[in-house]
């Protein structure tokens, strides 16, 4: 036994378009050997099925990830929590968990985080990250954005969150949707301080 402690990260998936970003991020974290504490909202569950098919439903996600991204994902550990269980481990600051990403983040959940509502486990875990001064990454997806939505991003950033919009870049010459999701997942892993080779660094 190496005695190495597994790094834990909460991943929240909500009902904004971009399921591919979410599954790519979860797969990359698992491949890095992380423990992923997954919380999916009701609309997030619908999103996974609508955008990726029944095979990507939460109940079958482990199998979907290894079939799609390879057996490397087995290096990590996937733990699924109910979004209704605000008494789950990740709802407490005493639980050892170094960071969280909400990907994709709906405007509704963004509003809940910005205003500290803690109505669901995703919102509560995000609140814990902010109060404990841990890394919280929000990946909002909406276009165009209303003034309240823009203000909620500012409020979240002021509270300590990193707002990392779902805005893939084209200077890497992406050819496929996987290239685009690799880029977003790579930006998220970098922000969580995980090394990765999801896209080559800009060479100037
Ligand atoms: C097909 C579909 C696509 C949606 N896309 C978005 C979106 O891109 N961004 C967003 O903020 N909300 C989007 N919504 C609306 C949210 O899913 C809705 O506000 C929901 O209540 C969010 O709840 P949650 O944050 O708990 O997942 C979409 C809804 C559906 C059914």
How high is the pLDDT of residue 44? 98
**DSSP alpha helix (H) spans, 32-72:** 42-52, 61-69
In b/e form, how buried is each residue of 153-182, taking b as 16+ CB within 10 angstroms? bebbeebebbbbbbebeeeeebeeeeebbb
pLDDT score for 202:
84
CA–CA distance, 95 with 8 (Å, rounded to integer): 10
Q: Which atom of ligand 1 is nearest to the CA of 109?
A: 25
Task: Output the pLDDT for position 78.
Answer: 98
Q: Give the H/E segment covering residue 78.
A: strand 77-82
Q: Residue 2 has what pLDDT? A: 56
Q: Is 16 in the pocket of ligand 1 (CB under 6 A)?
A: yes
Does the CB atom of residue 43 touch ligand 1 within 6 A? Answer: yes
Nearest CA to ligand 1 atom 5: 16
d(CA 2, ligand 1 centre) in Å:
43
- What does the block give as tokens for 37? 């504490």
Q: Whose CA is nearest to atom 26 of ligand 1?
A: 41
* pLDDT given at position 40: 98
Query: Which residue has a Cα nearest atom 30 of ligand 1?
Result: 15
Closest CA to 188 of 130, 134, 139, 133: 139
Quote the tokens at residue 59: 């109940």
The pTM of this model reads 0.97
Tell me, using a 6 A CB cutoff, whether residue 168 lines ligand 1. Answer: no
What's the rounded Cα separation, in Å, for the pair 56 and 69?
12
- What is the model's pLDDT at position 48? 98
The predicted structure's pLDDT at residue 1? 46
Name the percent of the chain in helix, strand, coil, to the closest 5: 45, 15, 40
pLDDT averaged per 10 residues in sequence order, the chain, 204 residues:
81 98 98 98 98 97 98 97 98 96 98 98 98 98 98 98 96 93 97 94 84
Alpha helices in 32-167 (DSSP H): 42-52, 61-69, 107-114, 121-131, 147-159
Q: Which two tokens stand for residue 57?
A: 């439903």
Tell me, in angstroms, the distance from the centre of ligand 1 to residue 105's CA: 9
Cis peptide before 151, with omega less than 30 degrees from 0?
A: no
How far is the centre of ligand 1, averaged over its atoms, from the C-alpha of 126 (Å)? Answer: 18
| Residue matched to tokens 């979240």 | 156
- Nearest CA, atom 18, ligand 1: 15
Provide the CATH number for the domain formed by 8-191 in this structure.
3.40.50.1950
Closest ligand 1 atom, residue 120 Cα: 26
Report d(CA 101, CA 114) in Å as an integer: 14
Q: What integer pLDDT is reported at residue 3 of this predicted model?
A: 67
Ligand 1 pocket check for 19: Cβ under 6 Å: no
């Amino acid at each position: 036994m190496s005695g190495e402690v597994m790094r834990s990260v909460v991943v929240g998936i909500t009902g904004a378009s971009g399921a591919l970003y979410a599954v790519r991020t979860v797969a990359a974290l698992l491949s890095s050997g992380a423990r992923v504490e997954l919380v999916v909202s009701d609309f997030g569950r619908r999103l996974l099925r609508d955008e990726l098919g029944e095979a990507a439903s939460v109940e079958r996600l482990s199998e979907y990830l290894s079939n799609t991204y390879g057996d490397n994902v087995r290096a990590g550990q996937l733990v699924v929590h109910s979004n209704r269980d605000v008494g789950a481990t990740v709802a407490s600051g005493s639980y050892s968990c170094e960071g969280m990403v909400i990907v994709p983040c709906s405007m509704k959940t963004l509003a809940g985080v910005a205003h500290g509502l803690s109505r669901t486990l995703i919102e509560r875990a995000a609140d814990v990250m902010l109060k404990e001064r841990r890394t919280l990454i929000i990946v909002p997806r909406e276009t165009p954005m209303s003034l309240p939505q823009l203000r909620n991003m500012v409020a979240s950033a002021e509270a300590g969150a990193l707002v990392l919009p779902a805005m893939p870049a084209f200077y890497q010459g992406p050819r496929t949707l996987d290239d685009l999701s690799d880029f977003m997942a790579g930006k998220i892993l970098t922000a969580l301080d995980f090394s990765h080779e999801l896209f080559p660094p800009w060479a100037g």
